[in-house]
Amino acid sequence: MAETIGFIGLGAMGAGMCRNVARKHGGPVLAFDMNPAALAAITEATPARSLAEIAETADVVMLSLPGGKQVTAVCETLAAHGRAGMVVIDLSTTGVDEARSVQASLAPHGIAFLDAPVARARAAAEAGTLSIMVGASAALFARVEPWLRYMGTDVARCGEVGCGQVVKLVNNMLLFEHVAALAEMMVVAERAGVTNATLLDVLAVSSADSFALRNHGMKAMLPRSFPERAFPSTYAMKDIGHAIALAEAMGVEPRLPRVAAAYYREAIAAGIGEAYFPAILTLIEKEDGR
């Protein structure tokens, strides 16, 4: 009989991931979220009444939560109500040390833990085409990879527990830096007489082409579309903080991350911190050209 999977956290990314798991898995899938509306929207899975119910029932538990604090709290409940042999797959983005601490706290209970943060946008979560970066032993990765492929087309083992978070934080930090650099240069070019549309079209076939340009530049920054309930600057600052801490722990001075962080921090101070993070473009547009 196929394993029972529990999915905890049905937000912007978790909802799509849970739907894909429920559609593709051959066994029962339970879902839980503190928000009753989010739970009711997932009709493909069976709603659970509590975290404890999932802990007592599921063989595999997947987490898609805002950060390390929430992951730690949920895993305390899983440890209290779960059983030996359970596997916990954390799809959230947390600090590296947080992932390793959670693994250490679950191990005495016989519960396996791996970090598997995801990349790409909400549309990829809905389509099941995420990139998933995994920190796990080779044996555990081989066991969980089929479940991860319910949600992602690109699934890579990056090393032992915590290494998935290392790669995800590096990925996000580079993206945030690129979006900040792109925002600056879009304003420069426009003030110098080149329209944003022309600039991005030319850059897309030149050496400055990138995922950030084609997605964040063309789809958000060009039309000035920065909706809330996407990935906001408040979330970006969480990941930037983890990336800076990781760099410092490794003996590297994170100069560029600190510069990028200033933009996202300013967006929060300006009251647009909950808008899609490329909205930092609007801050630069308001500058006087200094």
Mean residue pLDDT across the chain = 96
Which two structure tokens, joined as six digits, stand for 133? Answer: 């970066």
Q: What is the pLDDT of residues 225-268, one digit of tens each?
A: 999 878 999 999 999 999 999 999 999 999 999 999 999 999 99
CA distances, 46 to each of 70, 248, 285 (Å) = 22, 44, 48
- The answer on pLDDT for 33 being more than 70 is yes
Given a cut of 60, is residue 290 above it in pLDDT? no
- Residue finishing a domain among 159, 193, 220: 159
Angle between helices 68-81 and 96-106 (to 10 degrees): 10
CA 230 to chain centre: 11
Least confident of 12-21, 38-47, 280-289: 280-289
Token pair for residue 61? 């538990």
DSSP assignment letter at 272: -
Using one digit for the tens of pLDDT, what is the confidence trace for 171-188? 999 999 999 999 999 999
DSSP 61: E
Residue 111 lies inside a defined structural domain of this protein: yes
| Shared-domain flag, residues 197 and 215 | yes
Q: How many domains, the chain?
A: 2
* Domain presence at residue 77: yes
The verdict on pTM exceeding 0.85 is yes
Q: How far is it, in rounded angstroms, from Cα 38 to Cα 9?
A: 9
Q: Give the structural domain span for 18.
A: 5-159
pLDDT: which is higher, 290 or 106: 106
Co-location of 146 and 172 in the same domain: no
Domain membership of residue 102 (yes or no) is: yes
- Residue 45 forms part of a structural domain: yes
Structure confidence at residue 160 as a pLDDT band (50, 70, 90): very high
290 assigned to some structural domain: no
Q: DSSP letter for 228, please.
A: B
User: Do 53 and 31 touch, CB atoms closer than 8 A?
Assistant: no
Dihedral (CA of 53, 55, 58, 62) sign? positive
Q: Are residues 10 and 154 in the same domain?
A: yes
Pairing of strands 5-8, 29-32: parallel
Which CATH number belongs to the domain containing residue 184 in this structure?
1.10.1040.10
Question: What's the pLDDT score for residue 289?
Answer: 55
Known active-site residue 219: no
Using the 3D structure, point to which of 115, 137, 159 is the last residue of a domain: 159
What per-residue confidence (pLDDT) applies to 121? Answer: 82
pLDDT at 98 over 60: yes
Give, as one character, the DSSP assignment of residue 48. Answer: P
Output the domain CATH number for residue 123. Answer: 3.40.50.720
Same domain membership, residue 193 and residue 122? no
Do 13 and 147 lie in a common domain? yes
Residues whose CB is less than 8 angstroms from the CB of residue 271 and which lie 6 or more positions away in sequence, other chains included:
none
Q: Is residue 267 domain-shared with residue 219, that is, in the same domain? A: yes
CB 1 within 8 A of CB 24: no
Domain boundary among 126, 159, 192: 159
Q: Answer whether 29's CB lies under 8 Å from 21's CB.
A: yes
Q: Which of 24, 69, 168, 238 is catalytic?
A: 168
Measured in degrees and rounded to the nearest 5, phi and psi for residue 226 equal: -130, 70
Measure the CA–CA gap between 90 and 204, rounded to whole angstroms.
Answer: 35
Dihedral pair phi/psi, residue 279, rounded to 5°: -60, -10
User: Are residues 137 and 37 part of one domain?
Assistant: yes
